[in-house]
């Protein structure tokens, strides 16, 4: 799987802006992600938050406590930068460096690896995160994007 270009990642975020995001929406999106992951036998953990509140969490067979730690680290990147963790990492690489080398943030607390995506609501901005951990970073990111595309189409 080839890494998406920065412009493609930015377009995904624009396109996947939601009109609203309720507790019921979190359940619907979370169960959709779990169904997609189960169909692929993907050993992932899924986390959805709105503000500081966890609205959905699931750990599928094969996932570990390390996936929960990755979720927290990737989520913090979205919360700090307001865009996907893959986009943040890609922007650092485009400058010829890495997030770990140049962000001045503790890599034990922040990880600019794919899999965390902002939940953006029209007229409200980024209000939460949806995160997947357990696959290679591009696959984590792609799974989240696929679920959001299906969710917005639904």
pLDDT value of residue 92: 96
Tell the CATH superfamily of the 6-153 domain: Haem-degrading domain (3.30.450.150)
121's enclosing H/E stretch is: strand 116-121
pLDDT value of residue 108: 96
Q: What is the mean pLDDT of each run of 10 residues along the chain (154 residues)?
A: 90 97 98 98 98 96 98 98 98 96 96 98 97 98 98 91
pLDDT value of residue 75: 98
pLDDT value of residue 154: 77
Model-wide pTM > 0.85 = yes
| Domain range annotation of the chain | 6-153
Phi-psi sector, 26: left (phi>0), alpha (psi -120 to 50), beta: alpha
**Judging by beta carbons within 10 Å of its beta carbon (0-12, 13-18, 19+), is residue 19 exposed, middle or buried?**
exposed
CB neighbours of 154 closer than 8 A, spacing ≥ 6? 28
E strands of 8-105, at which residues? 45-50, 53-59
């Amino acid at each position: 799987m080839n890494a998406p270009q920065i412009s493609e990642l930015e377009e995904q975020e624009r396109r996947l802006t939601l009109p609203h995001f309720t507790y019921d929406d979190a359940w619907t999106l979370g169960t959709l992600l779990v169904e997609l992951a189960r169909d692929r036998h993907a050993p992932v953990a899924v986390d959805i938050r709105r503000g500081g509140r966890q609205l959905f969490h699931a750990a599928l067979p094969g996932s570990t406590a390390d996936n929960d730690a990755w979720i927290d680290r990737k989520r913090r990147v979205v919360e700090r930068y307001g865009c996907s963790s893959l986009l943040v990492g890609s922007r650092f690489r485009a400058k010829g460096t890495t997030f770990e080398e140049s962000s001045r943030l503790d890599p034990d607390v922040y990880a600019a690896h794919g899999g965390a995506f902002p939940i953006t609501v029209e007229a409200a901005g980024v209000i939460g995160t949806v995160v997947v951990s357990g696959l290679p970073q591009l696959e984590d990111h792609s799974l989240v994007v696929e679920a959001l595309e299906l969710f917005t189409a639904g």
